[in-house]
Amino acid sequence: MSNFVSVDELNELRASETPVRVIDVRWRLDRPDGHADYLGGHIPGAVYVPLSTELATHGEPSEGRHPLPSTRTLQDAARRWGVNQGDVVVAYDDAKGLSASRAWWLLRQGGVDVRVLDGGIRAWTAAGLPVATDDVQVEPGDVVLDEIGADAISIDEAALFPEGGVLLDVRAPERYRGDHEPLDPVGGHIPGALNVPMAAHLNAEGKILDVHTLQATFAAVGVTEGTPVAAYCGSGITAAHTALVLDEAGIEAKVFPGSWSQWSNTPGRPVAVGEQPG
């Protein structure tokens, strides 16, 4: 079964007897609070999810910009969204699945049947489907989550990962090379990491490419089924999208949630620059 649903499939799900909860996870680097955009038009019945407080927590710079929430924090949030035990959850955003994938990655670890809307809100509106402008409040759900964190690796594990597997840096090439670093104190990448940007998996409309193309992209850097692979990005958001895409291609992956924001804020960690892994 695919991790993605099309707008038509979501429309059918909403009209069926399948219990489904739709969540709006609008978040972008330049606009981390997506609530105003949500109020400007969202899928009817969708609950807004603030990524920074419900899909992440706050910590010291040495923990990265988006440390993982506790299982209890995530469970309380999911109940606020109205998620009941056995519900299907569909997450979407307006950023090509980047932030919705964070919800997918966390909820999946918690044992929830969760999908991502392919193309997000833009695909929904392009199909001429209705939007609402209310601030949806629902009855609390009763979902019980499994403990999360098993699909994450620590900073020490990330440092050693290239010795026995493939560590993917999924940021833009200029950030990987260290040419330009707008957010963190040092530019470059973790030594041994290979660069496969998130954009490599999407078409011009922001929808996921076909599975064979995805598999070919990963095979080109030595990642096939059974290859130990982990992904990181700037702060652990975009890397979850790569984990989602890898899973769609039949490849299990880990995520380094601290990512470059943790690595570059930790004294003594080596930094590689340029196009080569280093």
Token couple for 90: 């569909």
User: How many CA atoms within 13 Å lie on the side-chain side of 203?
Assistant: 10
Q: Which amino acid appears at position 85 of this protein?
A: Q
- Nearest C-alpha neighbor of 270 from the set 163, 164, 155: 155
* SS3 state of residue 151: coil
- Nearest C-alpha neighbor of 70 from the set 81, 59, 61: 59
DSSP single-letter state for residue 153: -
* Burial category of 156 from C-beta neighbours within 10 Å (exposed 0-12, middle 13-18, buried 19 and up): exposed
What ranges in the chain are assigned the alpha helix state H?
7-15, 35-40, 51-54, 71-80, 100-109, 120-126, 155-160, 173-177, 211-219, 238-248, 259-263
Angle at 244 between CA 240 and CA 248, to 5 degrees: 165
**Which secondary structure element, helix H or strand E, spans residue 61, and what is its range?**
none
Give the whole-angstrom CA distance, residue 241 versus residue 239.
5
**Residue keyed to tokens 């999946």:** 108
Residues classed as catalytic: 233
- What is the maximum alpha-carbon separation in the chain? 55
